[in-house]
Structure 1
Amino acid sequence: MAEEKDIIDEILEDADAKQAEEAADAAGKDSAAEDAEEEETVQAEEDAEDVPEKKGIFGRKKDKKDKKDEQIEDLTDRLKRSMAEFDNYRKRTEKEKTAMYEVGARSIIEKILPVVDNFERGLATVPEDEKANPFAEGMDKIYKQLMKTLEDLEVAPIEAVGKEFDPNLHNAVMHVEDEELGDNIIAEEFQKGYTYRGSVVRHSMVKVAN
């Protein structure tokens, strides 16, 4: 009986030792797992600190504009608009002034042209032997001065006789058959036409051949 009791006690001691060893191993594993988990947590926190903070849906939220900056932008925009409107007004005014000047100049030229016609008719009636007369010479000089003034104002006579008829420059009032002249050639000029800065002031009154 004593021997059996000793064997039983030895078996129980071995079982208790084995159980204690298993418990120690389990405790060690739990401790290692806790240490690993703690390290992962610390690393995650460090990684999170490295990531820049995002604000808003698409990244960092823009700083709100200062009221003074908004007022400056508004005033700058108004100034630019005002300057553009003024520039347009200036160009439009200059264009209108130029147009008014052109209309006024054409009106004056149209009134002067009959005077030029009368000068030319008067000088055409002076006989050759009287052209040396001081009066005739004075009238001729006045006529030349008048024509020089018109030339300076960019008024020019329209060429007619011997030129091809151009409805933009000439006004045909007669037609004649002439074998010596080609088709639509101006045979005679009844009234001289004039242009002002390239624009017709008065059409030439002409006779057209063929």
Structure 2
Amino acid sequence: MSNKHFEEKKNSSEKENQEVVTEETTNLQEEKANLSEKVDEADKVSAELAELQKKYDELNNSHLRLRAEFDNYRKRTLREKSELIKNGGENALTQLLPVVDDFERALQNIHKAEDLAGVAEGVDLIYNKFISYLTSQGVKALEVVGKPFNIDQSEAIATIPAPEEGLKGKVLDCVQTGYMLNEKVIRHAKVVVGE
């Protein structure tokens, strides 16, 4: 073979090698670019993950604090409610003490008194004072005599023949007075109903 031919082959081989190297370089550059994109993407995901972890920690901390605050609130309200139940009647009982004082004075003088009209008047005054106190607390007596029998307010303990036709189903007599506290019946009246 001639040198020329050998050189042409050599040049051709070098050219092929250069093309292969160029192709491999291009492939390497593409892989490097892909790898760089993947690293950038991984960095973004890592940054997003770190931010999400931070938000999670903040929300978890906020949730724990809120739970602790609610638990403290619940305990405080239970304590206040128990104190209210325990001492809630204090005001009512304190206002009853003057009536008790009047009864004590009446009991001391009732045995020594010779004027029964004066004793009766004193007991009437104490009774009126007590009824006035109950009224100020929202307690009122049920007026049921002469009205139609109402099962929500009264309890029938007896029935008797009505003296008149118009009194059938109406309350003829009240044996025990019923009371309401702020529009709620706290004791039903015990009544006799006409039939």
- Structure 2 CA distance for partners of 1:158 and 1:141, relative to 1, 3 Å: same
Q: Does 1:39 align with 2:26?
A: yes
Aligned to 2:16: 29
SS in 1 for 2:150: coil
- Structure 2 CA distance for partners of 1:73 and 1:208, relative to 1, 3 Å: same
Q: Distance in 2 between matches of 1:30 and 1:41?
A: 16
Task: Give the alignment of 1:193-208 within 5 angstroms.
Answer: 193-208=178-193
Q: Distance in 2 between matches of 1:137 and 1:143?
A: 10
Q: Please state how far the C-alpha of 1:204 moved relative to its aligned partner.
A: 1.8
Q: Does 1:84 align with 2:70?
A: yes
- TM-score (ref. length: structure 2): 0.58
Task: Give the alignment of 1:1-210 within 5 angstroms.
Answer: 16-51=3-38, 52=40, 54=42, 59-60=45-46, 73=61, 77=64, 80-100=66-86, 101=88, 143-178=127-162, 179-183=165-169, 185-210=170-195
Q: Runs of 5+ in structure 2 lacking a partner?
A: 100-116
**Greater Cα radius of gyration, structure 1 or 2:** 1
Going by fraction, where is helix more abundant, 1 or 2?
2
Q: Distance in 2 between matches of 1:103 and 1:175?
A: 42
The one-letter code sitting in structure 1 at the alignment partner of 2:153 is L
SS in 2 for 1:54: helix
After TM superposition, what 4+ stretches of structure 1 lie above 4 angstroms from structure 2? 79-82, 97-100, 102-106, 133-145
Count of paired positions: 164
Q: Please state how far the C-alpha of 1:45 moved relative to its aligned partner.
A: 1.9
Per-residue CA deviations over 1:66-105 (Å, capped at 9, x if unaligned) read 9xx89x949x83x644433332233233444454546996
Q: Distance in 1 between matches of 2:122 and 2:166?
A: 39
Q: Please state how far the C-alpha of 1:18 moved relative to its aligned partner.
A: 3.5
The one-letter code sitting in structure 1 at the alignment partner of 2:79 is T
Q: Distance in 2 between matches of 1:104 and 1:138?
A: 25
The one-letter code sitting in structure 1 at the alignment partner of 2:194 is A
Q: Percent identity?
A: 21
Q: Please state how far the C-alpha of 1:198 moved relative to its aligned partner.
A: 4.1
Q: Please state how far the C-alpha of 1:166 moved relative to its aligned partner.
A: 3.3
- Structure 2 CA distance for partners of 1:19 and 1:87, relative to 1, 3 Å: closer
